[in-house]
Amino acid sequence: MSRVLSGKPYVSDALRQRVLETIRELDYRPSRVARSLRVQRSRIIGLIISDIQNPFFTSVVRAVEDVAQQRGYAVFLCNSDEDVDKESTYIELMLAEQVAGMIVSPTASSNEVYRRLVEQRVPVVAIDRRVDGVPMDTVVSDNVHAACAVVSHLIENGYRRIGAILGVPGASTGAERHQGYVTALAHHGVPLLPELVRSGLPRSQNGYELTLELLAQSQPPDAIFTGNNLLTIGALRAIHEAGLGIPDDVALAGFDEMDWMFLVKPALTVVMQPAYEMGQRAAELLLERIVDPDRAPQAVVLQSTVKVRESSRRAAMRA
């Protein structure tokens, strides 16, 4: 019976038929649980993302699912909600469920859990964010470069008081995008104004509040760079509510997965991360590592797309 199901050879056709028929009659379905217990490994990939409401991650999910399904794996998805404790709890849970491996977008760039996973040869891939000091498979995008390109474009269009709203620097994405911003300013000889830089957890509500803070200053910025999808949508809302026009009163440029900014046409420049490709690459890396747990760790850096809109009237005037 077992041999028939697992497609093993050495079974006569007659017996095979008989077994197949009985299976149908009894509406028998194999227990994956028992199988997992026996082989000490399931056909499940764990995917732990830090915010299921962020379209970047939903694209990642779709990609991982597509690759996994194609290779006969199911995906077990958890949402750590930018909470390190939840993240660790879910990792434990995945372990207890005997997942074949996991893909995680780490909430913080240092977390001892990952060292243990790697040492215990648990297949694991970090996506979107790096983990410091642990040699593991990683898929990220070119954050420094993309942020630098966007901010440079603002500068080249005549903006000088450029505010920044970034994710918390605990995650590598926040730190790297901040670095890109600083680099762009330095490169063009534009002074860095610390009072125009804010950071918070990457949620649209924070983007909204931090933008209002910037706009309320006695000398508000003439442009704002947003270092994350959700911060962007929050900033957009704040600027609209403040009754300001984009880009004439204040320009806006930054990360945008859903093309929100181009939809409402206020942005000079947006960055789109290759979310789907990142998810695919992560899933592929994971499957490779499941096959060969001792392969050397790989770090994949994918390129973001920087979309530039023709400059606005005001931008043209300034230039």
Partner DNA sequence: CTGTTAGCGCCTTCAG
Partner DNA sequence: CTGAAGGCGCTAACAG
Q: Do residues 94 and 46 lie in contact, with contact meaning Cβ atoms separated by under 8 Å?
A: yes
Q: How many CB atoms lie within 10 A of CB 186?
A: 12
Nearer to a second copy, 62 or 318 (CB): 62
The DSSP annotation for 19-76 comes to HHHHHHHHT----HHHHHHHHT--SEEEEEES-TTSHHHHHHHHHHHHHHHHTT-EEE
Cis geometry, peptide bond prior to residue 247 (ω within 30 degrees of 0): yes
- The residue range among 77-85, 105-113, 279-287, 297-305 that interacts with a second copy, by the rule CB under 8 A, is 77-85
Residue 282, phi-psi category: left (phi > 0), alpha (psi -120 to 50), beta (remainder): alpha
Query: Of 11, 19, 23, 98, which one interacts with a second copy (CB under 8 A)?
Result: 98
Q: Of these partners, a second copy, DNA, none, which one is at the site of residue 71 (CB under 5 to 8 Å by kind)?
A: none
Q: Of these partners, a second copy, DNA, none, which one is at the site of residue 6 (CB under 5 to 8 Å by kind)?
A: DNA
Positions that interact with DNA (CB under 7 A): 1-3, 5-6, 9-12, 14-16, 29-31, 34-35, 37-40
Nearest 5 degrees, angle CA 105-CA 173-CA 47? 10
Contact between 61 and a second copy per CB under 8 A: yes
Q: Do residues 275 and 63 lie in contact, with contact meaning Cβ atoms separated by under 8 Å?
A: yes
Q: Of these partners, a second copy, DNA, none, which one is at the site of residue 23 (CB under 5 to 8 Å by kind)?
A: none
Spatial distance between the Cα atoms of 73 and 67, rounded to a whole number of angstroms? 8
DSSP reduced 3-state for 125: strand
Beta strand spans in 147-288 (E): 162-167, 197-200, 223-226, 251-255, 269-272
Contact between 5 and a second copy per CB under 8 A: no
Query: Of 16, 71, 188, 240, which one interacts with a second copy (CB under 8 A)?
Result: 240
Nearest 5 degrees, angle CA 5-CA 10-CA 12? 80
Contact between 205 and a second copy per CB under 8 A: no
Contact between 115 and a second copy per CB under 8 A: no
CB of 1 to DNA, least distance (A): 7
CB of 255 to a second copy, least distance (A): 17
Query: Of 45, 50, 65, 211, which one interacts with a second copy (CB under 8 A)?
Result: 65
Residue numbers at the binding site for a second copy (CB under 8 A): 29-34, 36-37, 42, 52-53, 55, 58-59, 61-62, 65, 74-79, 81, 90, 92-93, 95-98, 233, 236-237, 240, 260, 263-265
